[in-house]
Structure formats: C-alpha cells, structure tokens
C-alpha cells in the first residue's frame, strides 16, 4: 500500500491535505467528488461515470473486503484518483483475491490515505466540486506553487463530452434469460455491466452499441437486423450539453415513438432532447443512500446515485415539448433536484439514479418492470407502480 511514501492532495483553491500514498505512486489530476456509500467501493471504482474524477470516500474504513473478480461493473477501474482515510491493512472476505491497494497499484490508480476525509468533504460541500491533484513520491516533492498550477491547468468538467472515451468500441449482445420477449438496443454512454443483465433477466435481448452509433444503426440493431422494440440510454460521464450527437439520436427515437428508458446520463439527455435545460450541481450526488420520491406513487426510494449534472425543472412540472407533454416525475428529497422525467404523450421515461442495484439498494428495481410494461404497449402515462396498481395519484411535490 506504499504506506510510508508521503503524498499530498492539492485542491484548486489552494487547500492541501497530507497523507501517504495508496495504490500507484505518482500523480493524477481530476475533479474532486465525494461518495457517501458505506459499501460497494469496488462497483464505484469500476463505474465508467467516474472517468476523470478523484473520488473521496466518506466512509472511514475502505478496503475491508479486498478486491474480487466478480463485482466489477466494467473491465477496469475508471476513477482518476482515490482518497481514503483508513485503508484496511488486511482484507477479510472469502471472495477477496487481492488487497484493494494492490489492485489500485496494478491498474495505475494514484491514491492517498491518512486524509481527514470529513474535513475534505465539508470543504467540497461548502465550496463546491473543484479540480484536485494527488501527488506522491518524487511528484510530491515539487514546489507547492508548481503542484497548484498543475491542478488549476487541468481541464474543466463543464463542456466535456466523455461518453465516447468510456463506451464500447464494438457492438455486442447480452442474450435474454429464458425465452426472448423483446429486443432492446442499449446505447453505451458508460454502461455498468449489471444493467443489461437486469434487462436480460426480464426476457429482453440487449444489443449494446457504441455512443457514436447513428440513428440508422440504432434502428437496425434489433433482433435479426430489424428495428428494436425499445431503446435504452445508460449512465455515463461528462456534460450532457456537449452530447449533441446522442441527443439527436434520441430525438429520432422519440419522433418514431419507439419505447425509451434512460438512467442517469440518459435522463439528462432525455431532458435536453425534450427541451429542458441542464446545469452543474454544486457538489453532485454520489452514493447508495439518496432518498427520492416517485411523484406518481408518493413512494420514497433509497437509491444509488452518481451525477454532477442535473435537469432543470420543478417537482410535478408539466411542459409542452415537440413530442407532447412531459412531466418531472421524480424528485430528490435532500435538495429538490429533478430525479426523473416521464413523457405523457410518447412512450418514454427516465430516472437520474441507478436502479440496477450494483452496488446499492433494490428499491428502484421495479423500473425495469415499468420498461417491460412500456414495451408491452402500456402508455407511459399509465405505467404500473410497484404494487401493480395504475399510477393515478395526484401529482405534486
């Protein structure tokens, strides 16, 4: 774990934290964000949505269960850097194959331990997400002004289109479990591996295509080369305002009234396709304990989040769009942020969080069943809730 190698964390505003190297010795820069999840660090590390972000873990002990070969959500660790307070000295899990620090080192991830992550998190909450650098070994011995300049010269997250950097290069198919009921094309904007698996469990054959796929390619990527029964947009990193290609593809899907379901980045892109604006949150939502209300059912779900941008709007708001009426269907209970959209006159809906429960609670798994209902012909305005009753509750915050 390189516990004796000095390391320093430098924030964009000049505040510094000293600790010890954790993972690879060297240097890295990115956007400083914090995750409030008490478990599931392996799923966090391998979530492509964290590309170019240095993740601060608010949980004090990290690495207790080591690193296994089953819980990865992609083929590699995507975080730009990792910040922990007390790393486990010895992992304790029968599933562990190696220590977390060992895996970080093997994959070239520069981290730092021994940091007061409570103070760092409070600083980010008060000042907002900002650029950060982690430097260890010889890199940490450079003058403080030089380190700060390296951080401040790092690229901003606003205006960046990152989906193509984390997306698959080639189309692949995840077969349905059991009898194939539907064929869905999933546009990979940074998809987690559990997501197509959740769809496949419901009898959906999933064709995963790159983020650069054209509308024509999407429309001919269904079973046997035909049109898919539905289209799915995944989670992913970057500024949704910069994803002009993906938004145009989604608008083509909406025009053709093809059933659509989006999560996280896909929710933001649906918002922009409908004419909603998006903006950067002060410090974002990241963790597996975020409370969200489904305004149709008035049920509160504890959900998994990873987003730094959000859709503009108010709870229960209904807008006229080029594709008919659309409403804000879900809202975050911590800060009122838009957490879901639903088209009332087109077969499309989305949520800002991750319903695949990897890692995270299973409160939102019913959303995959809602998508199946949509594929079966149920109007989006009459989708079923978790009890099997039609959504007829009065809208409102």
Task: Kindly list the domain boundaries of the chain, sorted by start residue.
Answer: 6-152, 163-382
The two structure tokens encoding residue 344: 């009332």
What pLDDT was estimated at residue 2? Answer: 67
Binding residues for L-glutamine: 49, 236, 238, 268, 306, 308-309
CA angle 275, 158, 234 (to 5 degrees): 60
Q: Do domains 6-152 and 163-382 have the same CATH topology?
A: no
CATH classification code of 6-152: 3.50.30.20
Low-confidence ranges of the chain (pLDDT < 70): 1-3, 380, 384-397
What pLDDT was estimated at residue 1? Answer: 55
Catalytic residue among 246, 264, 339, 343: 264
What pLDDT was estimated at residue 223? Answer: 83
Contact by Cβ (8 Å): 81, 28: yes
**How far is it, in rounded angstroms, from Cα 199 to Cα 193?**
11
Contact by Cβ (8 Å): 151, 98: no
Q: Is residue 343 annotated as part of the catalytic site, yes or no?
A: no
Q: Is residue 264 annotated as part of the catalytic site, yes or no?
A: yes
Binding residues: 49, 236, 238, 268, 306, 308-309
**How far is it, in rounded angstroms, from Cα 329 to Cα 181?**
27
Q: Is residue 354 annotated as part of the catalytic site, yes or no?
A: yes
Cα atoms found within 13 Å of the Cα of residue 136, Cβ hemisphere only: 28
DSSP 67: B
Residue 333's contacts (CB-CB under 8 Å, 6 or more residues apart) are 291, 292, 293, 300
CATH topology of domain 163-382: Rossmann fold (3.40.50)
What pLDDT was estimated at residue 3? Answer: 62
What pLDDT was estimated at residue 192? Answer: 94
Contact by Cβ (8 Å): 190, 49: yes
């Amino acid at each position: 774990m390189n516990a004796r190698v000095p390391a320093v964390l430098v924030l964009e505003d000049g505040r510094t934290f000293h600790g010890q190297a954790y993972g690879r010795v060297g240097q890295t820069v990115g956007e400083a964000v914090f995750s409030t999840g008490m478990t599931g660090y392996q799923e966090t590390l391998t979530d492509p949505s964290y590309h170019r972000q240095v993740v601060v873990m608010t949980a004090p002990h990290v690495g207790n269960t080591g690193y296994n070969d089953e819980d990865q959500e992609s083929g590699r660790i995507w975080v730009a850097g990792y910040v922990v307070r007390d790393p486990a000295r010895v992992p304790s899990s029968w599933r562990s194959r190696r220590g977390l620090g060992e895996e970080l080192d093997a994959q070239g991830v520069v981290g730092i331990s021994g940091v007061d992550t409570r103070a760092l998190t409070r600083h980010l909450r008060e000042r907002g997400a900002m650029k950060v650098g982690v430097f260890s070994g010889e890199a940490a011995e450079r003058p403080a002004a030089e380190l700060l300049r390296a951080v401040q010269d790092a690229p901003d997250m606003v205006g960046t289109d990152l989906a193509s950097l984390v997306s698959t290069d080639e189309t692949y198919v995840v077969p349905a479990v059991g009898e194939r009921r539907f064929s869905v094309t999933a546009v990979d904007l940074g998809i987690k591996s559990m997501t197509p698996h959740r769809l496949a469990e419901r009898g959906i054959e999933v064709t995963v295509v790159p983020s650069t796929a054209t509308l024509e390619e999407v429309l001919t990527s269904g079973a046997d080369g035909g049109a898919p029964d539905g289209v799915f947009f995944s989670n992913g990193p970057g500024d949704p305002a910069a994803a002009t290609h993906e938004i145009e593809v989604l608008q083509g899907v909406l025009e053709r009234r093809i059933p659509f379901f989006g999560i996280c980045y896909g929710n933001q892109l649906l918002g922009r396709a409908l004419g909603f604006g998006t903006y950067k949150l002060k410090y974002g939502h990241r963790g597996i304990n975020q409370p969200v209300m489904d305004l149709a059912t008035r049920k509160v779900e504890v959900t998994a989040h990873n987003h730094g941008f959000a859709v503009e709007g108010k709870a229960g708001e209904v807008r006229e769009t080029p594709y008919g009426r659309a409403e804000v269907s879900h809202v975050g209970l911590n800060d009122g942020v838009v957490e879901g959209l639903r088209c009332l006159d087109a077969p499309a809906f989305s949520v800002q969080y991750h319903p695949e429960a990897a890692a995270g609670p299973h409160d939102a798994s019913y959303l995959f069943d809602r998508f199946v209902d949509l594929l079966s012909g149920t109007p989006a305005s009459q989708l079923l809730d978790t009890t099997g009753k039609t959504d007829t509750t009065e809208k409102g915050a």
